[in-house]
Structure 1
Amino acid sequence: MYDSDFLNRLETGLRGALPRWGLSDATDLKLLTISENATFRAHDPADGRDVIFRVHRPGYHTKDEIASELAWLKALGADGVVETLTAIPQAGGELIADIDDDGVVRHVVAFGLLPGKEPQEGEDLVHWFRELGAINARLHAHAKDWRKPEGFARKVWDYDAMLGETLLWGDWREGLGLTSEGRDVLERTSTLLKRLLEDYGKDEDRFGLVHADMRVANLLVDGSHLSVIDFDDCGFSWYLYDFAAAISFIEHEPYIPDLLAAWIEGYRTVAALSEDDCAIIPVFIMLRRMLLTAWIASHSETPTAEAMGTAYTQGTVELARAFLEKYAAAEEMAGK
């Protein structure tokens, strides 16, 4: 899918839409990332403007869902909750454009540029996760109080959507390199996750609108300032799922407990977080890890999936074994 012909088609379609944002024919386009969507950076030497374009994958988000994301972004900016990208309207005021990709319609949104760079593993991730915890708490508080506009629509990230009957990112059973033994381990883990999540419930103080993908690649550090980008996966889920999403693809690293402690500390500077809430976070980490295992299998042609390969699936199985042992021991101690 992501061969040169495909990328050339995307760039050609996007280039044809540039005048809608007042960009000249001399504008330089550079592909930044490609995953669910393709992200380009445009620089127009005619006026020095820099614009980020997100070309959406067809058949994933509807126009209403994209418009709902942009409505939340606008509200977050207006209410001073977090600094993030601002959508740039076209000349006619519309925020979403359509381009043709060999007969397939793709939605396009333009954003302004934010300064900063992605924090690296060698940097003080503990410090930034403390900041991220406070940002998450502000986002959650805003989501609970914000009156959503009529027609607001975003996907629901619950057990059924991730591991159950209405899968959004594919089936973990198709995990790259998954053995029959590993499949059995993950099946038992999925069953346990379902029960634990049902026990935790979806009360309004626990389940609502979240970013759902606040991983390191979607953070920007500029001096002492932390910004958050890419709300493309925002939707309705458990609030504490946001931490699990924040450690996407690094769930197995030995420093994760330090990141979690810092995140909780930062969160509590803004809002209360009970011990029961903290105790459920490992459940969301395991849930997210299995979801990403499914995503890698269903998006195996993407650079991210190629980099993870079968090793990520094997790591998921090992994490699942430890997860099962932990909860079996806890239930034995509780006399269940």
Structure 2
Amino acid sequence: MSADLPKPFRDALDDRARQALAHWGVAEQKPDLLKYRENAVFRVRLADGRPAALRLHRAGYHAEAALRSELQWMAALADGGLAVPQPIASRNGQLLVPLPPRQAFAAQHADVIDWVDGEPLGESGKPLAQSPERLVEIFSALGAAMAAMHNLADRWTPPEGFWRATWDEEGLLGDRPLWGRFWDCEGLSAVQASALSTLRLELSQCLAALPAPARDFGLIHADLVRENVLVDHKAGDMRVKFIDFDDAGYGYRLFDLATALLKNRREPAYDTIEAALISGYRTGRDFSDAAHSALPLFLVLRSLTYIGWFAARPELPGAGERVLRYADETLALAAELGLR
């Protein structure tokens, strides 16, 4: 998406990044924009030459307490042995720096986190390049790492003031879902809006009837899509790493598993991918067949989130077309999985 930004806005974004980098004493560089979604993420260099990632947080999307809590949880996961980014303090010791309004930007916060080596598992919309054998290795490791993350979250006591959003029934299907009102957003056809409204009610009933093993709930990443899973092959050892905790919060653990699987549904090796992910997860955490049976519900719930997300961001290239496409894809997925 970053390559499609209008040049005047891109130039202003680079200037905003240098304004933030002044707090780390490294403003005299051209930051390399990697992603523009919830955050604008840049690859930068610290004073000692190390690579790092600068994040300009979307104005008004997360409160300061939520941003600090994200950094606290990432630190706790790293302390527990999980490969995740760590925050780097500014010159005067701040992990989170406030930026005042300027030009095209409202007041927002910035932080710098250390660089995590590895290649993204894949790219949305493009077939996975790995062989089936390698996919088994990667998704088994991904499942095991997800189990370790959930275990660490359960053992961790958040500090006072910790706050992250909650992906429960209200956050997913309530009157004001965290990622937007997918059933009545601008651009939907009358047929799509009606079908999504009906599906919303059906999914609420399904959530209410979840078997106990599927109700495992706690801190989750919430966005382990291909781009946020890095695969690192150093010294012949393969390790998966997690980045982009911007949407991390409290939710069903099945939501994390469904997020890692959804964009792979059309892969020829999907059955192998799902089996490897679940097998890897079970090496570190209990996951019964009863819990597994609820996975289709969470695949549809995750698919719904993309509709409202893009509808709330019309400035992104192709947002309107994506709203329509995700609506059709979600309704088709629900029908395929027997949920409508």
Partner of 2:125: none
Give, in angstroms, the shift of residue 48 of structure 1: 2.3
Task: Determine if contact 2:231/2:239 at 8 Å carries over to the other structure.
Answer: yes
Question: What SS does structure 2 have at the residue aligned with 1:173?
Answer: coil
C-alpha distance in structure 2 between counterparts of 1:89 and 1:304, whole Å: 37
1:13, CA displacement in angstroms?
2.3
User: In the alignment, which residue of structure 1 is the partner of 2:42?
Assistant: 40
The gaps in structure 2 that reach 5 residues or longer are 123-127
The equivalent of 2:109 in structure 1 is 107
Matches within 5 A, 1:255-334: 255-303=269-317, 305=319, 308=322, 310-323=324-337, 326-327=338-339
Structure 1 residues 117 and 10: CA distance shift in structure 2, 3 A: same
Q: Give 3-state SS (helix, strand or coil) of 2:62's partner.
A: coil
1:157-176 aligned at under 5 Å gives the runs: 157-174=167-184
The residue type paired with residue 327 of structure 2 is T
Structure 2 CA distance for aligned equivalents of residues 293 and 198 of structure 1: 23
User: Paired residue for 2:210, among 200, 216, 224?
Assistant: 200
Q: Give the aligned partner of residue 69 of structure 1.
A: 70
In structure 2, distance between residues paired with 1:252 and 1:294: 22
Rounded Cα–Cα distance in structure 2 between residues aligned with 1:7 and 1:98: 21
Amino acid at match of 1:91: R
Structure 1: distance between partners of 2:9 and 2:249? 29
Which range moves more in the overlay, 299-308 or 268-277?
Answer: 299-308
- 1:209 equivalent to 2:212? Answer no
Note the C-alpha offset of 1:205.
6.6
Find the counterpart in structure 1 of residue 17 from structure 2: 14
Q: C-alpha distance in 1, partners of 2:284/2:97?
A: 38
Identity of counterpart residues, as a percentage? 33
Letter in 2 for 1:38: A
- AA aligned to 2:58 is R
Kept after mapping to 2: 8 A contact 1:252/1:319: no
Name the SS for the 2:294 alignment partner. Answer: helix
With structure 1 as the length reference, what TM-score do the two structures score?
A: 0.88
TM-superposed CA distance for 1:177, in Å, is 5.8
Count the aligned residue pairs.
Answer: 323
2:44 and 2:26 map into 1 onto residues whose CA distance is 9
Q: Structure 2: how far apart are the matches of 1:255 and 1:177?
A: 34
Query: Once structures 1 and 2 are overlaid, which stretch shifts more, 89-98 or 10-19?
Result: 10-19
What corresponds to 2:165 in structure 1?
155
State the superposition RMSD in angstroms: 2.5
Going from structure 1 to structure 2, the CA distance change for 1:241 and 1:31 (only over 3 Å counts) comes to: same
Tell me, in whole angstroms, the C-alpha distance in 1 between the residues paired with 2:295 and 2:24.
43
> Is the 1:240–1:284 contact (alpha carbons within 8 Å) kept by the matching residues of 2?
yes
Q: Is the aligned partner of 1:23 residue 2:26?
A: yes
Q: 5+ residue gaps in structure 1?
A: 329-336
